[in-house]
Amino acid sequence: ADILIRMDNVEKYYGSFHALKNVNLTVQRGEKIVLCGPSGSGKSTLIRCINHLEPIKSGRIVVDGTELSDGQKSIDIVRREVGMVFQQFNLFPHMTVLENCMLAPMRVRGVKREEAEATARRFLERVRIGNQADKYPAQLSGGQQQRVAIARALCMEPIAMLFDEPTSALDPEMVKEVLDTMVGLARDGMTMICVTHEMGFARQVADRVIFMADGEIIEENTPEAFFQAP
């Protein structure tokens, strides 16, 4: 089997607080996982550990054959390969949409300006926001900004995408446009782990729904089984 992301016996603490308890997870290439569970159960922590935004205490995380260690080299490799989208869009306010999308490919991957611009324009088109390329983030709606954040991550040509409650900060009327973009990505075969409370999205795209509570994975199932009334 082609396993892209694997977590073995991962333990995570914040000080003395035990945030992840013996987490084991394998994600196949092309698989879509929805992570759900109550607030504070460790969902965000779990995905943040995958690209080492949070260090772990023990256990093992392997992304496409690279084992994460505290050394900068493996962290750089994994961050280049795994794109992340946050609840807050985290766009640079002083840069245009286009510049936001060109920055990391040029800085981190050494892509030439012309190629970075062509790639950025292509992905901005793909999230249907190509006509906003020269605007600044504050000139866009929340839903548009989140689609820019998705395009920006895609410009690094990641092998997998992590979404941390990408629609939670949006006004209700903008949730659908962002979910539609994510559904499109899923249909194109992207490997995805999504922390979301959008259960309609989970039913529509998830291969597996994972339920967490108190830092532990307590259920893993297909959406059909997961949402079946008991």
> Residue 5: which of 132, 160, 222, 154 has the closest Cα?
160
Which of 30/130 has CB closer to ligand ADP? Answer: 130
CB-based contacts of 80, cutoff 8 Å, min separation 6: 108, 109, 156, 158
* Whole-number Å distance between alpha carbons of 195 and 137: 24
The owner of tokens 């795994």 is 82
- Least distance in angstroms from the C-beta of 170 to ligand ADP: 11
Which residue number, 13 or 103, has a Cβ lying nearer to ligand ADP? 13
- Binders of ligand ADP among residues 51 to 110 (CB under 6 A) are none
Beta carbon of residue 65, minimum distance to ligand ADP (angstroms, whole number):
26
41 binds ligand ADP per the rule CB under 6 A: yes
What are the contacts of 203-206 at 24+ separation with CB within 8 A? 203/227, 205/32, 205/34, 206/32, 206/33, 206/34
Give 41 or 191: the residue with its C-beta nearer to ligand ADP: 41
Interacting residue with ligand ADP among 1, 2, 16, 39 (CB under 6 A)? 39
Residue 29 vs 135, nearer CB to ligand ADP: 135
126 to each of 121, 192, 201, how far by Cα in Å?
A: 9, 17, 19
In whole angstroms, what is the distance from residue 74 CA to residue 67 CA?
7
12 binds ligand ADP (CB under 6 A): no
What is the nearest approach in angstroms of ligand ADP to the Cβ of residue 109? 29
Cα–chain-centroid distance for residue 164? 6
Q: Which is nearer to ligand ADP, 37 or 83 (CB)?
A: 37
The interface region with ligand ADP, picked from 40-48, 98-106, 111-119, 178-186 by CB under 6 A, is: 40-48
Q: Which of 51, 96, 119, 144 binds ligand ADP (CB under 6 A)?
A: 144
Exactly one of 140, 149, 151, 178 binds ligand ADP (CB under 6 A); that residue is: 140
200 near ligand ADP, rule: CB under 6 A: no
Closest-CA residue to 202 (of 26, 24, 6, 36): 36
Q: Are strands 58-63 and 32-36 parallel, antiparallel or unpaired?
A: unpaired
Which of 1, 2, 16, 17 is in the footprint of ligand ADP by CB under 6 A? 17
For Cα atoms 92, 94, 100, give the angle at the middle one, nearest 5 degrees: 45
Residues that bind ligand ADP (CB under 6 A): 14, 17, 19, 37, 39-45, 135, 139-141, 144
